[in-house]
Amino acid sequence: MPDPKSLTLLAELTFAEPAAEPVLLALAAVVGATRSEPGCLEYIAHIHAENPCRVLFYERWQGQAALDAHNASAHLAAFRAVVGPRLAAPPQLGFWKRLG
């Protein structure tokens, strides 16, 4: 049975141009650092199969405190500094509840 306190977040980023080397390096860095964070259950980045301008993060956290700590982390700030100017639109965030 899933932990009722855990959070599932899908975050979609849309870039003005296909993800280039600086973005791909920043993605690898933030994924590696985030997976080491306390309270991170899963953190997986996906690039759209047909549109390389779209990146989707699948995130699972033990609870709100873990997600808050992640959002305040230096590695996420560094990631945002690299990708922010390259975004075509604000990130789309959605929280999901697990069924079964």
Span 4-57, pLDDT tens digits = 789 999 999 999 999 888 999 999 999 999 999 999 999 999 999 999 999 999
Number of alpha carbons in the 13 Å side-chain half-sphere of residue 6: 16
Domain 18-96, classified CATH 3.30.1330.60, yes or no? no
Quick one: how far is CA 36 from the chain centroid?
14
3-state secondary structure of 32: helix
Please give the pLDDT value at position 20.
84
Please give the pLDDT value at position 5.
84
pLDDT-based confidence at residue 2 (cuts at 50, 70, 90) = low
Q: Hey, what amino acid is at 50? A: E
pLDDT per position as a tens digit, 66-86: 999 999 999 999 999 999 999
Please tell me what DSSP assigns to residue 4: T
Q: What are the extents of the domains in the chain?
A: 18-96
Listed in order, strand segments (DSSP E) in the chain are 7-14, 40-47, 54-61, 92-96
